[in-house]
Chain A
Amino acid sequence: MLLQQLVNGLTLGAVYTLVALSFSLVMGILSVLNIAIGELFMLGGYLGFAIIARGLPLPLAMAVAMLGACVVAVIIQKIAYEPLRDAPLITPMLSTLGFSIILQNVVTNVWGSDPLQLPSEMFDGDFQIGPVRIGVMQIVVIGVTIILVGAVAYLVQRTPAGRALRAIAENRDVARLLGVSVSKTTFLAFAISGLLAGAAGVLISLHYAAITPYIGVDIGLKAIAVMVIGGTTRVWGALLAGPLIGIAEVLTIAYGGSQIRDLVVYGLMILILLLRPQGLLGGARSDVGQRV
């Protein structure tokens, strides 16, 4: 039973990890919380859902969702961030909040406010490994997450574009002196962030076999909690905090009931921050530099 819940928690945590990485990439470059990422995630879920519900293959659904969320992320960058880049940090944050409400409204008007559900026979196979039953859907969610995290890690750590992202996150002036374009790198951060959010949206719609226009708020807030728990100065903290929160949530539902789920998750966040304000993988408390 416990092992089964751990697998379920890892599946949910994988989605949290992707959305938290999406938040972190933008936050690392700009120190701005792009609140609309929760709704990009939701939009990705609906786009993927629309493809899957028509019986088209999952890879196509992933591609459309990721591309759609990526395009909207870049639009958000151009409209909600770029004109306000010299304003106080709270200003672009509020403009992304405005975008998130608009996105939610658009989706509600297109797909309605009631939850959409996948046919129950989709992705319903499973494998029995000892006492643990692992669904095809769970393998897809965890597998896609590992591939995407690996791809982002490769890009950030091994490519010139990734080095530019890290350079700007650490010291913008020095990065400029080395020839890094702030606007191109910001574009890249928003685009990758959108790709990850879109993919996570499809995965969560598979996980729940349903989606609502309001899922972005719920998952988005949890992803922010994951980002904070992982460490506000270390983007890869999400790899630890995502599964941790996913497992905590699933175990709470299994053994305590869903009515105390958020109490436990956010209580855990507050507890960790009281014990380690810099987060699990954060450096010294004074370390407020690089996040990427």
Chain B
Amino acid sequence: MLKVRGLEVFYGPIRAVRGIDLDIEAGEIIALIGANGAGKTTTVRAIAGLTPYKGSISYDGKTLPPNSAELNLRAGLAMVPEGRGILGRMTVEDNLNMGTYCRKDHAAAARDIAEMFERFPILKERRQSLANLLSGGEQQMLAIARALLSRPRLLLLDEPSLGLAPKTTTAVFELISSLRRDGLTVLLVEQKARQTLKIADRAYLLETGRVVMSGPAQDLANDSLMSQAFLGGATAL
């Protein structure tokens, strides 16, 4: 579904991503894990089309031009950025309306918004509230609901658990699992490696802009080096 080959991203003279290869197949949850500064967010931003890059990213066999987020969304690739990316001065309802911005099937889009309200009743309850008045967990629900409204086939989630309470984090991970059951493919960028590997099919471990380990999530969770570095030293699963 998505192939990344020799991905390099520069911030001025700094090479933040140094030749990453990734493969994502339809229906998978792929985890991208690593410490701060490993290049996870930069990688996913390049895939989403927010950052110029070198190398190649192809989606369903077609090359995605760099820095073309608007086109990527129409191709079926949506992203929830780090920090949730809600539009805080808009109402919850307007945020959801923005999720259908690129759609032409207005009647179906309205039905999908109604379905999102059914799926996330708290959003329906607070539909006229400004989005920045929602709690962190509610904002994350809103951000994911909004991304889903573009009817993506590949969803990029950048640190969805950032700043959330443990209980809310668990709810977000359960939501991500349910999205996969609905047929969505997910690229999940996370620092919470233990929980991430529990729901992922495969994972890539990044360090200083390079992939240093990859494979089935279960194998990474059981790897001793991985365990020492990211899982607190205990066998993970």
Contacts and interface: CB of A to CB of B under 8 A. Distances in A.
A170 B95 CA distance: 12
A85 B107 CA distance: 37
Contacts of A171: 85, 87
Interface string B91-124: 0001001110110000000000000000000000
Contacts of A160: 97, 101
B89 A180 contact: no
Contacts of A177: 48, 50, 69, 73, 78-79, 81, 85, 147
Given A170-B87, A170-B89, A178 B99 contact: yes
Contact of A163 (B48, B50, B97): B97
A174 B87 contact: yes
B124 to A, nearest CB: 19
B90 interface: yes
A175 B147 CA distance: 12
A171 B101 CA distance: 15
A177 B48 CA distance: 8
A166 B70 contact: no
A164 interface: yes
A252 to B, nearest CB: 36
B81 A179 contact: no
Contacts of B99: 178
A163 to B, nearest CB: 6
Contacts of A175: 98
Contact of B73 (A166, A167, A179): A179
Contacts, number: 64
A75 B29 CA distance: 47
Interface string A172-207: 011111111110000000000000000000000000
B79 A167 contact: no
B20 to A, nearest CB: 21
A95 interface: no
A91 interface: no
Contacts of A166: 87, 89-90, 94
B150 interface: yes
Given A166-B87, A166-B89, A178 B81 contact: no
Interface residues of A, number: 19
Nearest to B50: A173
Contact of A181 (B70, B78, B81, B90): B70
B88 interface: yes
Chain B interface category by residue count? 20 to 34
Interface string B136-159: 000000000011001000000000
A57 interface: no
Given A166-B87, A167-B87, A167-B90, A176 B69 contact: yes
A115 interface: no
A178 B88 contact: no
Nearest to B90: A166
B80 to A, nearest CB: 8
B31 to A, nearest CB: 21
B74 interface: yes
B49 interface: yes
B101 A174 contact: no
A286 to B, nearest CB: 13
Nearest to B85: A174
A7 B154 CA distance: 59
Given A166-B87, A171-B85, A179 B94 contact: no
Contacts of A164: 98, 101
Contacts of A174: 81, 85-87
A179 B150 contact: yes
8 contacts: A164-B101, A171-B87, A174-B85, A176-B50, A177-B50, A177-B81, A181-B70, A289-B88
Given A167-B87, A178-B98, 19 more contacts: A160-B97, A160-B101, A163-B97, A166-B87, A170-B88, A171-B85, A171-B87, A173-B81, A174-B86, A176-B49, A177-B48, A177-B50, A177-B73, A177-B81, A177-B85, A179-B150, A180-B70, A289-B88, A289-B89
Interface of A: 160, 163-164, 166-167, 170-171, 173-182, 289-290
| Those 7 A-B pairs whose CB atoms lie nearest each other, nearest first | A179-B102, A176-B69, A174-B85, A179-B73, A290-B89, A178-B98, A179-B101
